[in-house]
Amino acid sequence: VWTTTNVVDEQVAAIREQVGSARAICGLSGGVDSAVAAALVQKAIGDQLTCVYVDHGLMRKGETEQVEKDFVAATGVQLKVVDASERFLKALAGVSDPEQKRKIIGREFIRVFEQAQAEIVAESGAAGEPVKFLVQGTLYPDIVESGGGTGTANIKSHHNVGGLPEDLEFELIEPLRQLFKDEVRAVGAELGLPDEIVQRQPFPGPGLGIRIVGEVTEERLDLLREADAIAREELTAAGLDREIWQCPVVLLADVRSVGVQGDGRSYGHPIVLRPVSSEDAMTADWTRMPYDVLARISTRITNEVSDVNRVVLDVTSKPPGTIEWE
């Protein structure tokens, strides 16, 4: 019978047998899949596992802390955090084209990750503990889809931790390769991971970098982070987390419009709300959200985020629109 306890027990035994006394590395993205894969492997081999988290500076408010603190507290995993935000900002300076941004972020991510990986391998080697394994959070649908290729993969160059080049010197551990997403969430809960990680909605690898239409700068990231945090807070408070597949919050950084705020005229940026309903992200519809929730989000964002004087709602289905704006 399929129970989460059985899945955990079987995987733990299989991983122990596969790894023996060697060491393993796992990249964490902040997403559900890599978190659950890492937690499973940690349960099996403990300190023989080292996780790497590359902070590209494009995460939403509180997400990096969630990995650094909550995930570590829940699992006791050994974690190496690389703060590479300045490097990413530098590489993105002056770039507005969406595909170019995606390529730069993907490229820098792999470079930083490989460097961290090499450091761990060198340190372990010096201590006589060779690193032989790389953990990946590959799911069953990922395996099925990579055969045919998804529609979106042809439209945008996707970046995620699961898409790292397979290093030939490593053997792969893929403890989730027989599971669907809802099963992965159940396994994560069984392993004691917090809800904020296990129930997390999809978030793109390139992060807020592709939710700023225009050049990515530190000021713009800070502004978008505030607006996004308000939207997420209100959506959660309204109990809409499960109903809405995801709700990208987008900053139109090169657009300004006239408004009236406080004592006079303002000339600020619009924020776009993109709530969508979907089964698999291949197609989507815009979510018919309660007006009072939209009103609260709008009032709070325009009151609390300086330089934003307008909130607009995206009412486009996919197709023709994609879920993300870039």
Q: Is 124 annotated as contributing to ligand binding?
A: no
E strands of 106-261, at which residues?
131-135, 171-173, 212-213, 249-252, 257-261
Residue 120 vs 229, nearer CB to ligand XMP:
229
Question: Was 277 annotated as part of a binding site?
Answer: no
Contacts of 258 (CB under 8 A, 6+ apart): 265, 266, 267, 309
Q: How far is the CB of 278 from ligand XMP (least distance, A)?
A: 8
The CB-of-106 to ligand XMP minimum distance in angstroms stands at 8
Q: Residue 76, annotated ligand binder? A: no
CB of 159 to ligand XMP, least distance (A): 4
Q: How many Å separate Cα 306 from the centre of its chain?
A: 26
Known binding residue 29? Answer is: yes
- Residue closer to ligand XMP by CB (options 188, 268) is 188
The residue type found at 242 is R
Four-residue CA torsion sign, 43, 45, 48, 52: negative
Confirm or deny that 55 is annotated as ligand binding: no
Pick 7 or 37: Cβ nearer ligand XMP: 37
Closest separation between CB of residue 215 and ligand XMP, Å? 19
Looking at beta carbons only, is 211 or 220 nearer to ligand XMP?
A: 211
The answer to whether residues 224 and 109 touch, using CB atoms and an 8 Å cutoff, is no
Nearest to 23 by CA among 132, 169, 168: 132
Report the residue number, 134 or 276, with the smaller CB distance to ligand XMP.
276
Site for ligand XMP, rule CB under 6 A = 152, 156, 158-160, 202, 204-206, 246, 281, 318, 322-324
Question: Could you give the CA distance from residue 123 to residue 287 in angstroms, rounded to a whole number?
Answer: 50
Residue 213 near residue 252, CB atoms below 8 Å: yes
- The response to whether 32 counts as a known ligand-binding position is yes
Q: How far is the CB of 148 from ligand XMP (least distance, A)?
A: 16
Give the residue numbers of the binding site.
29-35
Give the residue numbers of the binding site for ATP.
29-35
